[in-house]
Structures are given as C-alpha cells and as structure tokens.
Chain A
C-alpha cells in the first residue's frame, strides 16, 4: 500500500496540455496511475489523448472525484495553481514546477496550512502540498504521481524513501531496486527553500505504514530540515532510519543549484546534520551505495 498514493488514487494534471504535462501524463498512465483528467484554463470541454480537460480544478474534481492533483504550470502561475487546488478541496497537491518565486511559495504554503487546519477541524482529511521543485511520489507497483523514470521502480519492496533532490531520488531508488530490496513509497520533497512538506512531516506516515520496514532519508546541506527530522526520529520513530547527506564538500556561502542548498553562517552545515543524526542514532552513509549496507544492517540482514 505505501503512503500518500496508491492504486485507488485518482489524479488530475494541472497543465496537462503543456509539453511537460503531456509527456508525464503519458508516463504516469504507463506506470499504472489512474490519471482521470487534465486542467487547462480555456481548454475546458476538450479531449486530450482520451482524457477530459476542464477549465478549473473544482470542475475536474466534481466530475471525476479526483483526490490528487499534480501541477506542471509555469512558475509565474504555479503558486496560484496550488491555491486553486487547495480551495477546491483536493487533499494531496504535488507541485513539480521549478523556479517559483520564493515569496509566492511562502504565501501559498501558509494558506495551504491554514486550509489544512480548517479542513481537519471540520472533520475532513486535511490538505497537503508536496514541493515545489520536486520529482513527486511513487508507491511502487501501484501509482506514480511524479516525473521519476518508471524503470527504476520494477521491484516493489518495503523501504520508504524521502529526498530533497530529484536525481539522488532516482539514484537511491535504483540502488534499492537493484539490491532486491525495493521501495514502498518514494517521496521527493523538493530542494527549494520554502516547500509544502518536510522530512519530519513524512516520517510519521512511514512510521504508521504497515508496508514500510525502514526509511532512507536523502538530505543535503542548507536549512535545518535534517536536524528537525533527527529530532523527530529520536523522539518518535521505532522503525530504523538511514541517512545520506549530499554536498558535504560544498563551500560555505555559495548557492549550489538548489536555492535551499546554501550554508549560511553556522546554519545548514554538514557537521550539524551529521551530529544531529548521530545523536538520533541514525547511521549516515558516506557514499550512496553504502546506504544499502546500512539498511541491511538496520534490518538485521
């Protein structure tokens, strides 16, 4: 089953008729995901490769009963697309778009959190945003709502994977796949400074998931998400967690591609992340292949 998405998830694609939206809609369908509709304002009522297209998320949700939306809208309209989905009551929103202005994300994340609290207070299941600038998520053997290559998920397994980096998500998923362990759910949370869901938000879902035995966390320099994750693990997790930190040799003060991957003063250094994981008894792999050995050891294999 995994977490967040499964074979029963009904997915709409905001920006389906754009280049990225179209190719990934096809790839998700090939994976077996139930993609039920597209949303492109102005193209409502048309058909796109067999999918109905709607003018708004609200219309698409009403007509299809969708419960997940994945967004491929260009940066200038991406945060607005998130808010449209959130106000339409879509419980899981995945923002793939890269390059969204940070101030837009600050406002959107805050509003989604307020709607989430409101929705829960009214007895609903809440509203969760994942990303932006993320590769999405995959529950192996069931559904992919994202842009990961399908072929690295041929081996459904029982290891949960959470990552800030797109490519390293692929790398880790392939390593787990090739090692015969496979993944339960992979969650790419994104590398931007302001994102909807953090490591510490995802960890409790894996802890509660009967189909996950251990969790791999792929972190990087910058911010204090890994430190917060370590704190959560120490206090709450019974399942083993293994970590990897990217960018350990990056110089301070330089922004390494990910806007979030920058060491500012003494915040976000590899040392503070390593120390936090050490304090939480989370083994940290020196190289990515070592992740496999550490997971095996943690599971007593």
Chain B
C-alpha cells in the first residue's frame, strides 16, 4: 500500500524523525487558514500516489496567504496522471539556499536478501535519475533485518556519502528510518529531500512510504489510510476480487492468465504480435468459474480493450472452470469483445467441449499462445 506524503511523515514522526511541520487541506480556504496560522511562506503540495508531482505543477511555493489560496484553488481538483487531487499538504517553507539537500532511503533489495540503506548527497532530485546518470553518487549498505541499522554503520554511510552537518543527528535519523522500515513492513521508504539546515540539523522535507501488502494484517491501525478514491477504479475492483491487476497505458488487448510469470510472458507475446497489452491480470492459482467471470467482467469494463487474450496453463487451475467463467460472462451479455484463448493443462478436453457447445464467434480457442495472441491482436487492431 502506497502512503501519501503526509501519512508517511506521520509514521516517521512516530519513530522520532524530525519532520517538517505541515497540515492537510481539502479546500482553498483551509489552505489559506493554515498559511495564516504558520505566518510565513508555505508550500502547497498535491497528495496523489504518483511520482513527478512537482513537474506536473502539483507543488507550489506560496509566499503569501493569498498566493496560498490561489495555489490551493489551482492544485485541488487538478488531474495528475489520471488521478484527481482531493487533498493538499500545506507545509512551512524552508529556505533551501540556507542549507543542503540529501537523500536517504531504505528499500527491499533481493540481491542482499534484506533492506539496503541508500544515501546520496544528490538530494532533491529523482533518485532514479541520479542512479542512472551517476550511480557512484549513491552509497549502498545492507541492513541486518534482525539487529536493524546500528548508529556506527549509519555514521559510516553518512561519511561515505559526503554528508555535512551534525553527523550524529543525521545518523540518528537513518537509524530511525530503518526502524520504521522494519517495524512497519515497508517495501520502500525515502526521505528526499533530507534538508540539513545552517545549524547542521536534519529535517525530512518529503517522503515516500510504501507498505508490504502481505503484511497489512499486522498494521490494522493503518488500514483506514487506504483511500480507494485515490486509486484507479478498476484496480480497486480488482483488489476486491483478490486479483493482481495493473492497468497499462496505450493498450488495446486485455490480458489475463493464471500466474504472474505466464501473464508477463503473455504481455510479451501480445507485443510481439503487433498489439499493445491494456492490462496485466493474474487470476492466481486454482481459480473457480466465478473468479474467471469477474476477471472477464473487469477487463471488459476497460474501454481501451478491443479484444481479450486469455492464457491458461492449468495445474491447480482447471481449464473447464475457466471456460465456464467465460461462458457465463457471454451468456449475461457482459462479454461483447472477442476472446482469443489458449487453455492447456488440467481439464483441457472438458473446456473444449463446453466451448464447442456454446459455439460463439466471440470465443475461440487455439492450441498455442502465439496463435491466440496473434488473433487477439488482429481483432484489437481492426
């Protein structure tokens, strides 16, 4: 689960991280009131789950109350990469020129089978850009998942990264960041920029925080923070059914299969066939007809989808259950787009028999995934 900046900051605050003061506003008047209370320049920041808010005009420096109101009007209701801004965070402005901006982050790193602490003196920029252009400017350090990060390790990282300021305080912030990541089951936590003021004191100006969905059961206190309106409607519906679903840009073929690997490969095959996948949908293992029916319903709702490619290799999943789900969607009039499918494995013959009985031109079965994808691509590109 991705958290908003203000939510991530709230967690970091609970772990004792020095976080820049700010309040959430839902109307321009609230923005003005907060700016008035702070009595100094503020920054109005869109709270949406996408990167690049600043570039999209979602973060604005506001020297006066009136300007804050005006910026609140501009940003609230704004569309950033398909998501509407319903809330802004209004923070006290910091004089960036009177200090330095750094980056620190903790990320699940499969290569070290633990978290890696990353630190860079190139703060304030997208860390991916720094990693791509000048990877040597990012210091990596494996964090022991049992002991957590020790202060001496944090100081070593800070020194290697070339951080200036109160090294003990900066290292302390790193230690607290690592505790937050481990105890709150983060996938990723970043403080960027980590601002170090003239006195050498570190302050977290912005943060990214994402929690491991598999561990949400032990963070029920955060469950209310999940804001369905801030996610894509089809992704919300998919999460209700327990699907792994990702909407992809510029696609015209709906893709579903049983298992992450086969769906990824199905995306590759659709691309190769000259069309673009519109989504990634993994129905999981052992799906019954109802799950498949819901999956077809979901993909059919996507207006970008012109044809559907279903790719199943049944182990636990039974091909006849998949066929039944598709047929139910057809019978109920939900399925109006051509479905081209390849179903192999458990109960394949039963599936073929069921589809032969229905005999609809909308549903066609193919012996291999390439032919099915090619036909789906042809239909989608018509």
Contacts and interface: CB of A to CB of B under 8 A. Distances in A.
B149 to A, nearest CB: 13
A192 to B, nearest CB: 8
B267 interface: yes
B258 A222 contact: no
Contacts of B272: 287
Contacts of B370: 287
A288 B269 CA distance: 10
B268 A102 contact: no
A257 B114 contact: no
A221 B280 CA distance: 15
Interface stretch (A50-58, A205-213, A243-251): A243-251
A166 interface: yes
Contacts of A224: 110-111
B108 A101 contact: no
Interface stretch (A29-37, A168-176, A275-283): A168-176
Contact of A248 (B109, B144, B268): B268
Interface string A244-276: 001111110111111111001111000000000
Given A167-B258, A174-B344, A102 B107 contact: no
Contacts of A75: 214
A101 B269 CA distance: 31
A110 interface: yes
Interface string A156-191: 000000011111111100100000000000000001
B33 interface: no
Interface string A79-116: 00000000000000000001111111011011100000
Given A148-B315, A224-B111, A250 B267 contact: yes
A171 B313 CA distance: 7
Contacts of A195: 110, 113
Interface centre among B146, B185, B261 (most CB of A within 10 A): B261
Contacts of A288: 265
A100 B214 CA distance: 6
Given A148-B315, A256-B280, A102 B108 contact: yes
Contacts of A191: 260-261
Contacts of B132: 265-266
B267 A249 contact: yes
A225 interface: yes
Contacts of B355: none
Contact of A257 (B218, B264, B268, B344): B264
A110 B114 contact: yes
A167 B257 contact: yes
A76 interface: yes
A18 interface: no
B354 interface: no
A109 B185 contact: no
B350 interface: no
A110 B146 contact: yes
Given A102-B215, A106-B115, A220 B108 contact: no
B264 A256 contact: yes
B261 A194 contact: no
B22 interface: no
A168 B265 contact: yes
A223 interface: yes
Given A110-B114, A251-B248, A287-B269, A258 B145 contact: no
Contacts of A41: none
A272 B73 CA distance: 45
Contacts of B262: 165, 167-168, 171
B142 to A, nearest CB: 10
Interface string B118-138: 000000000110011001000
Nearest to B257: A167
A115 B135 CA distance: 35
Interface string B259-292: 1111111011111100001001010010000000
Given A99-B214, A102-B212, A249-B277, A258 B110 contact: no
Interface in A208-235: 218, 220-225, 228
Contacts of B325: none
B1 interface: no
Interface centre among B128, B277, B316, B344 (most CB of A within 10 A): B316
Contacts of B246: 254-256
A247 B249 CA distance: 16
Contacts of B212: 101-103
A193 interface: yes
A149 interface: yes
Contacts of A264: 107, 128
A168 B261 contact: yes
A258 B215 CA distance: 15
A3 interface: no
Interface centre among A171, A191, A224 (most CB of B within 10 A): A171
Given A103-B182, A249-B268, A257 B215 contact: no
Contacts of A220: 261, 264
B230 interface: no
Nearest to B280: A256
Contacts of A166: 259, 261, 285, 315
Nearest to A219: B261
A70 interface: no
Contact of B265 (A101, A247, A253): A247
A130 interface: no
Contact of B110 (A163, A169, A222, A287): A222
Given A99-B214, A147-B315, A265-B131, A106 B261 contact: no
Given A170-B315, A256-B246, A265 B268 contact: no
B346 interface: yes
Contacts of B249: 251
B244 interface: yes
Interface string B288-300: 0000000000000
7 contacts: A101-B214, A149-B346, A164-B261, A191-B260, A249-B267, A264-B107, A287-B269
Interface of A: 75-76, 98-104, 106-107, 109-111, 135, 147-149, 152, 163-171, 174, 191, 193-195, 218, 220-225, 228, 246-251, 253-261, 264-267, 287-289
